[in-house]
Every structure is written in C-alpha cells, then in structure tokens.
A and B are shown apart, each in its own frame.
Chain A
Amino acid sequence: MATKRFIKRHSLQTRLTHGTVVFSCIWLMISGLFIFVPPLAAAAPGVAQFMRVTHRIVGTIFILVPIISAIAAPGGFKAFLGKYFTKWTPEDFEFMKKFVPYMLGPKRVHMPDQDEVKSGQRVADGMLILGGIAMGVSGLVLWLGTSVFAASPGTIAVMRFIHDLFFMVLVVFVAAHFYLGSGIFQPYRGTRKLMFGSGEVPESDALYHWGFWAREEIEKGENVVEREV
C-alpha cells in the first residue's frame, strides 16, 4: 500500500453530461445508418422505422442535455469555453507538429508540456462540438421541417447535405476520440477513468499528459486528493 496523489479533473455533472452525449451519439450513429446505408433499410424496413423514431427521441436528448448542463452550471460552462478559446503557446504548436509522428511512434517521440486542454484536444473536441451543433441544427430542421412546418425542398436538401457531411466528419473524430479516450493507444492507458470513473487523474499521468496544468494544480493543492492504493 502506498499513498498516491490524484487531481480532480472532471466533475460529476461533466461526466454525466459526457456519458449521456456519448451514448446518444452512438445510438444516433447506429440508427442513422439505417437511412445512410440503403441496404440496411431495405433489408429491415420495420427496424428502420423503429430506428427513425428512436433517432428523434435520442436526438432530442443529444441536443438538450448539454444545453441544460450549461444552463445549470454557467460558471463551469464559461470556464470550459475559456479552456478551448485560449491563445496558443509555442508548446501547443509543437504538440500539433509532433502529433502524427507521436501516434506512430510513442516510444521515441516525446511531447511537450500542455495546459489543461491539449492543443490537439482543442482541435479534436472543437470539431466534435462543431459537428454536434451542425448535426443538431440540421437534424432539427430535417425533423420539424417535415412535420411541424413545411421547409422548402431546397432547405431540406441543404440540411441533409450538412447532416451527411458532418456525419462523416464525426465518424472520423469520434473514432479518434474513442481510440485515445478509452486508452486503446498504449500511452493513454487509464484515461477512460477520467470520464467513466472517478474523474480523477493520477499525478504521474497528469504530469505526462498535461504537465503545465498538473504542476499548477499540485502547487495550488485545491483539487489534489491523496489516497492509499
């Protein structure tokens, strides 16, 4: 048994919001495939109808939960924005430059220290958020524009194009996010627990991934907990 330090990184509300969005996103992708891939709908039209209904219900959850979460914690939302819309440091640029070589050779490529949100995270998460907003807005128009009001065929075509385009974008970024976030990539082992666990990161991992942030947090001590492991 040894005493180890952990840094609190994600609140329960953040983890619940993230978890809801993750499962919504997965279901939306699966149910959306029944329209995106014609043979699926042709093979099982009854299932496709069911998927369409659930696509709307889960889509509503996907849109509303982050909005409610932001309204419930305006301070946290402001801090969240501050982490993403921040001036890039030389280390941020170096991180981006080394990212692909690092992904293909983590044993020999060493990454620079990072703040609470890595520059690569800012780009990737930014694309996920942008994609989520684009999917949400276009999905709403596709849904309500063919039920509550009559959107013009041109509007529907544009919205469907956006929906399809960002579906493709999201497939790429969600896959990469899953690969890193779930810790399949060996240097990222354990990161799964940040969102699907206690929300705390061990000191050693924090120093490796977010050096600037980890040292700052440890010096402040407010979010540091010690635990026997």
Chain B
Amino acid sequence: MAEKAIMFDSSRCSACKGCQVACKTWNLLPSPIELNSQKWSGTLQNPPDLDENTRLVISFDEKPREKYGVDWAFGRRGCSHCTDAPCVQVCPSGCMHKDEETGFVIFDTDLCTGCQYCHMACPFDVPRYHNVGLSGYNITVNKCTACIDRVRNDRAPACVSTCQPGALMFGDRDEMLKIAHERVDLLKEKGFEAARVYGENEMGGLHTLRVLKYPIEQYGLPENPQTSPLLGAMGWMKPILGVGAVALVGGLGISFLTGLGYHRDEMRYDEVNHDIIDVDTGETIRHIDKEAGER
C-alpha cells in the first residue's frame, strides 16, 4: 500500500461539520446532549476545541476585509499525522506508533500508560485523554487515527466519506499533493494570493494535507511547527545514565574490595585530659592540645 494522505481543501469547505459527526459516529465517540453543557467558543466552532471524545473540529475564523465583507476561513483541526512524529518518539510504551504502510500515526489504547508525553511533544496541540484526574488511573489517549480500520479495508476515512462539497479527499499522498497544488494554483489565479499548500514538508511531511485559501494565521496553524529541543536532550539522557550507572557500580565495587579486611582499634576520649586512648592497650593515641587551640 502506498503512503496515504487526507487532503483538506479549505476553499471548498462549507463548514457543515458533517465530518465531525461522521468521525464521532464511526469511532463511537459520544457528545454531551444536556442543555448548555458545551462551552461556547464565541464562533460557530463547536465544540470549541478537541477533547477526549472529539478527534476532529472544523475551526472558524473571521477577518474583516479592507473594503467590505469578511474572509471567513474554515480549518480542519485534528492530527496532522507527521512523518517525523514527535509523539511517537516520546511515547514510552509504544502505544503511539506509525502505521508503516500508510504513514498515519495511530495508537494502541491497551498500551497507553497515560503519561501524556505525546501532548507535550505535539507541535499542533492535538492528543487528548480519557479519565484525566488526580489519581492518574486509566488515563488513555485519544486522537485521529485516520480511521485506519477503514483504510485497511480499502475505505476512505469516515470524515472523507461524508464530505458533500468535496473539501476532503483521500488517496495516495503523491496524488493528494498534486491535487492540492493544482487547487492552490487555481486559487491564486482567482486572486487569493495567500493560498498555499500546508503539510508538504512540515515535520518531515504531513499525512493531513491542507489547501489554505487565506493566510495561515486564520487557520491557527504554526508556520514552522517544531517540537521542544529538550525532547532531543531527553533522548541522550538514558544512555548517559546507563554508562554512569555501570561506572558507579564499578567504582563502588573497587572501593568495596579495597576496604575488605579493614580494621580499626576501638577508641575512647578522656575528656578531662583531652586524650584519645586505645581501649585495648590503654595507650594515648593522640593528645588534643586545647591550649594551642585544638578542638
């Protein structure tokens, strides 16, 4: 199977949120149904962000034009499925991993230890967690898997399958990139100068490609996504600890061997005459000359 990608064309998106519904339906992710139980984002964006049961959100951004009207940007907020996925690099249990065939970043809930390091590493602020609480028990990650179960059975991800205006496409990554560039060329012809493809090279290449109609700021995407340089430093800590531990054990072992057979005579202190005396022989080992300032 060739490397795959989901391609989101913001210029075609009507923000119907059918993809959000399809995602929840296929992945059995509930939504709160109580009155006013959702936070209000201040826009039509709903829910306001990704959460433990929401892997995909259509983002809304309005920017007034200079003369009249607004640039109304619809974005697709969810996992970008990085080639150089830092979440995979930091995952201590192997829960977060790459699907070698497609390049999508997927996870195995049974292996999740709930450390939440993947959230720390993600430059897109994506992974969310079930059961977050003080006890830390049974915290498990949740994020877009590109419906890998569907993909492995030659079906498009649920979000793509339901997109009426054709803003979402799925296929081989090379082909998706080609279409994305064609769309950008067309948008530029129509006067959308800021139009661009996002995801071709970012983080080694994303498997969620985006055609951005408006400037990138309107989509909440980082211009140059990067992960903390400290994560790299943490990578070499463990080998150092390993070498250090071996050296320490070796050093203490030598110290122990050189100390074998050590013996010292029992001492007592004569506080009247300020003498240190060998208990067995009664000999004065040392006199503390208090008058000379000795302690």
Contacts and interface: CB of A to CB of B under 8 A. Distances in A.
Contact of A204 (B233, B249, B267): B267
Given A49-B113, A172-B244, A143 B269 contact: no
Contacts of B267: 203-204, 207-208
A8 to B, nearest CB: 16
Given A45-B111, A49-B138, A153 B276 contact: no
A160 B134 contact: no
Interface in A130-174: 143, 146-148, 153-154, 156-158, 160-161, 164-165, 167-168, 171-172
- Is the interface on chain B under 10, 10 to 19, 20 to 34, or 35 or more residues? 35 or more
A164 B110 contact: no
Nearest to B140: A49
B289 to A, nearest CB: 12
Interface in A95-153: 103-107, 113, 143, 146-148, 153
Contacts of A94: none
Contact of A157 (B120, B256, B268, B276): B120
A53 interface: yes
Contacts of B133: 147
Contacts of A45: 93, 95, 110-113
Contact of A203 (B252, B264, B268): B268
A34 B113 contact: yes
Contacts of A154: 228
A215 B260 contact: no
Interface in B110-132: 110-117, 119-122, 125, 132
B295 interface: yes
A158 B230 contact: yes
B186 interface: no
A153 B93 contact: no
B135 interface: yes
Interface in B239-260: 240-241, 244-245, 248-249, 252, 254-256, 258-260
A36 interface: yes
Nearest to A115: B295
Interface stretch (A15-23, A70-78, A183-191, A193-201): A183-191
Contact of B269 (A171, A176, A214): A214
A207 B121 contact: no
B28 interface: no
A179 interface: yes
Nearest to B123: A153
B92 A153 contact: no
B255 A52 contact: no
Contacts of A153: 119-122, 125, 228
A68 to B, nearest CB: 20
B238 interface: yes
Given A48-B93, A208-B264, A35 B120 contact: no
A103 B267 CA distance: 22
Contact of A215 (B119, B241, B256, B288): B288
A35 B122 contact: no
B238 A36 contact: yes
Given A45-B93, A156-B120, 17 more contacts: A34-B113, A41-B93, A41-B111, A42-B92, A42-B93, A56-B134, A106-B262, A143-B136, A153-B228, A157-B120, A157-B121, A158-B228, A158-B230, A175-B252, A186-B262, A208-B267, A221-B271
14 contacts: A38-B94, A41-B93, A45-B113, A53-B135, A56-B134, A107-B261, A153-B122, A153-B125, A153-B228, A160-B234, A171-B241, A176-B248, A185-B255, A215-B288
